[in-house]
């Protein structure tokens, strides 16, 4: 009997731990910042979330600012020859204080980990640097009265390297443990992507979210957005197969999605440039004031579509 009982206990424990506490966005939140690396900077999942909140709550104008920075870490680590030796990985420590002062966010989502193990097998020192950086980020924001929701790192495709896939499993598990040890708000994007990837490969063994194992395509970004929205207590998201299925249920959904995407692309580079960073080879940006004026025009066009 015991040999049947123990697996049952394990299944029950995993099931319970996999159930996330919903984190509905409080009513006083207006300006929301997303911090992260190139996956966040790519912006698809941020745009999906922005579009959904715009469509679902037309009377509530969230300002969602994408401040993801390609190559960035929160651990402060970098490979000796990162970017073929052109520049080291940027470090969030260098810009966080300026972001807090200039942007004054009401809520921050932070997604780190993918770059923080610098694509090497697990190592205690690198893991300690990641933990220290995440703890520092959490403490800086909470000390300033800014709530933070952590996002576990997206999945690294084990077909591109099982050792590094294991590193991100460990980093994600540690972040999830902070839900229970320190009452942190943590959304498990890693687990959602890993489950989705395995499920899709049961149907199509060649399926991949990321050709390079790192940067997910649109379908991968949808899984990220879907998980975040679900954990923000948004109902009816779990069963939708893609972003198109989400927006087609709203009048002018496609037009509004295109406008939100346009607004995000204009503002993210402007904000990055205004806050400042040490990552070279970034696209040129409009001055922030000009970008905000353009964003305001787009917001007006969105408002007009929402009212019809």
pLDDT value of position 22: 84
In our burial notation (b when 16+ CB lie closer than 10 A, e otherwise), range 256-271 reads: bbebbbbbbebbbbbb
pLDDT value of position 61: 82
- State the average pLDDT over residues 189-202: 98
In sequence order, which residues have a C-beta less than 8 Å from that of residue 127 and are 6 or more positions away? 117, 170, 171, 174
CB 77 within 8 A of CB 131: no
Higher pLDDT, residue 13 or 61: 61
H-assigned helices in the chain: 2-18, 38-42, 44-56, 96-103, 124-143, 162-181, 189-203, 218-231, 243-247, 253-275, 288-306
pLDDT value of position 27: 87
Q: What is the token pair recorded at 205?
A: 């063994």
**pLDDT over 80 (residue 34):** yes
pLDDT above 90 as % of the chain:
86
- Binned at pLDDT 50, 70 and 90, residue 11 comes out as very low
Provide the residue count of the chain.
Answer: 308
Task: For residue 153, give the H/E element and its range.
Answer: none
pLDDT value of position 77: 98
- State the average pLDDT over residues 39-57: 96
This model's pTM is above 0.85 = yes
Looking at 10-14, 89-93, 228-232, which range is the least confident one?
A: 10-14
Identify any residues that bridge with 34 across adjacent strands, giving them in sequence order: 66, 109
Can you tell me the distance from the alpha carbon of 112 to that of 75, in angstroms, rounded to the nearest whole number?
9
Q: 20: burial class by Cβ within 10 Å (0-12, 13-18, 19+)?
A: middle
**pLDDT over 70 (residue 304):** yes
pLDDT value of position 60: 83
* Right CATH for 26-251 from 3.40.50.300, 3.30.160.160, 3.40.50.1110, 1.25.40.10: 3.40.50.1110
- Binned at pLDDT 50, 70 and 90, residue 12 comes out as very low
CB 259 within 8 A of CB 304: no
Can you tell me the distance from the alpha carbon of 129 to that of 140, in angstroms, rounded to the nearest whole number?
16
- Binned at pLDDT 50, 70 and 90, residue 235 comes out as confident
Q: What is the token pair recorded at 73?
A: 């870490």
**pLDDT over 80 (residue 226):** yes
Q: For 135-163, what is each residue's pLDDT tens digit?
A: 999 999 999 999 999 999 999 999 999 99
Q: Which of 249, 193, 202 is nearest to 222 (CA)?
A: 193
**3-state SS assignment for residue 145:** coil
- Residue 34 has φ and ψ, to the nearest 5°, of -110, 120
**pLDDT over 80 (residue 9):** no
């Amino acid at each position: 009997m015991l040999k049947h009982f123990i697996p049952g206990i394990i299944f029950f424990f995993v099931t319970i731990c996999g159930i996330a506490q919903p984190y509905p966005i409080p009513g006083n939140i207006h300006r929301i910042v997303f911090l992260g690396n190139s996956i966040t900077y790519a912006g698809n999942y941020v745009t999906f979330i922005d579009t959904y909140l715009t469509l679902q709550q037309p009377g509530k104008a969230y300002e969602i600012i994408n401040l993801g920075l390609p190559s960035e870490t929160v651990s402060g680590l970098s490979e000796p020859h990162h970017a073929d030796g052109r520049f080291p990985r940027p470090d969030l420590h260098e810009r966080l204080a300026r972001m807090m002062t200039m942007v004054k966010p009401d809520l921050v989502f932070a997604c780190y980990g993918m770059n923080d193990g610098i694509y090497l097998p697990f190592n205690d020192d690198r893991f300690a640097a990641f933990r220290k950086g995440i703890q520092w980020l959490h403490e800086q924001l909470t000390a300033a009265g800014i709530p933070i929701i952590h996002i576990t790192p997206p999945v690294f495709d084990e077909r591109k390297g099982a050792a590094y896939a294991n590193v991100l499993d460990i980093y994600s598990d540690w972040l999830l443990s902070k839900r229970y040890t320190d009452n942190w708000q943590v959304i498990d994007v890693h687990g959602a992507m890993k489950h989705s990837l395995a499920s899709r490969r049961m149907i199509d063994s060649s399926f991949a979210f990321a050709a390079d194992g790192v940067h997910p395509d649109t379908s991968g970004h949808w899984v990220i957005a879907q998980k975040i929205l679900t954990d923000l207590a948004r109902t009816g998201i779990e069963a939708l197969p893609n972003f198109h299925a989400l927006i087609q249920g709203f009048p002018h959904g496609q037009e509004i999605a295109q406008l939100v995407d346009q607004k995000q692309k204009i503002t993210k580079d402007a904000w990055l440039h205004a806050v400042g960073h040490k990552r070279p080879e970034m696209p040129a940006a409009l001055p922030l004031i000009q970008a905000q004026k353009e964003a305001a025009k787009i917001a007006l066009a969105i408002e007009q579509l929402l009212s019809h």
